[in-house]
Amino acid sequence: MIFVSSLIFIGVLVITLAVVFLKDTGPSELKDLPNYTEIKGDYTAKGLKYEKQPHLGDPNAKVKVIEFADFKCPACKKWEETYMDQLQQEYIDTGKIELFFINYAFIDRDSIMAASAGEAIAAQSNEKFWEFKRKLYEHQGDETKIWATPDFLLDFVKKNIEGIDYDRFAKDLKEHTYMLPVKEDFKTGGYYGVNGTPQFMVNGELLPSASYEELAAAIEAKLAETD
């Protein structure tokens, strides 16, 4: 009887936890948040496609650096806040590198939505994308929660990003105009071995960690090769 009672208790506990989990990530929270299997269209994962990505720095720079990131990633937020200004001052503003951003939206469905919002901004203004990137990290929600919803992103952009066609942005977000490029970014990252965020690539070589020291050393090595 004790054994049977224990099984019943465990069964009730599992069901209760399942109900709580489903409640926390219910259909209303996932509304308008597609997963990658629902995003249809032709793309290719091979090739880094620099010309499609938001970029900072001198296009003639011999060293090309790619940042792979997810807007929901706490480590990406920390890297942005800790090292981005240093990278800008030491390598971007000095003309030593050109920096590119590629989405690696893997944490949850709203990672994909946030990435598509960034793509919609970039389609209007490369400069405004970088403003969007920094400010969205400043407003980043809990990694374990669904927070980058269409309603959140529409409100966030309206309040924080000036100088764009907001109606165009809202239309692109609601109609999922840039979902396929987000999927292409994700598949491209996977093709080249990206398995987390943030990760960096220097002249096509993926670095094993996001250490600023390692990134700087890789940049310096490539600069030395081009002298």
DSSP line for 3-64: HHHHHHHHHHHHHHHHHHHHHHT-HHHHTT---GGG--S----SS--GGGS-EEE-TT-SEE
Q: Does position 77 have pLDDT exceeding 60, yes or no?
A: yes
Beta strand 97-103 pairing with 63-69: parallel
State how far the Cα of 32 lies from the Cα of 123, in Å rounded to an integer.
21
Categorize the per-residue pLDDT at 116 as very low, low, confident or very high, splitting at 50, 70 and 90. Answer: very high
pLDDT in tens, 205-218: 999 999 999 999 99
Percent of the chain with pLDDT over 90: 84
Per cent of the chain over pLDDT 70 is: 85
Q: Which two tokens stand for residue 70?
A: 């997810």
pLDDT score, position 34 = 87
Report which of 3, 24, 6 is spatially closest to residue 14, judged by C-alpha positions.
Answer: 6
Other Cβ atoms less than 10 A from the Cβ of 123: the count is 17
Distance from C-alpha of 173 to C-alpha of 179, rounded to nearest angstrom: 9
CA 155 from centroid of its chain's CA atoms: 19
Sign of the torsion angle spanned by Cα atoms 21, 25, 26, 27: negative
Is the C-alpha dihedral spanning 53, 58, 64, 65 positive or negative?
negative
pLDDT exceeds 90 at position 4: no
Quote the Cα angle for 134-115-44, to 5°. 130
Q: What is the pTM of this model?
A: 0.86
As to burial, measured by CB atoms within 10 angstroms (0-12 exposed, 13-18 middle, 19+ buried), residue 188 is buried
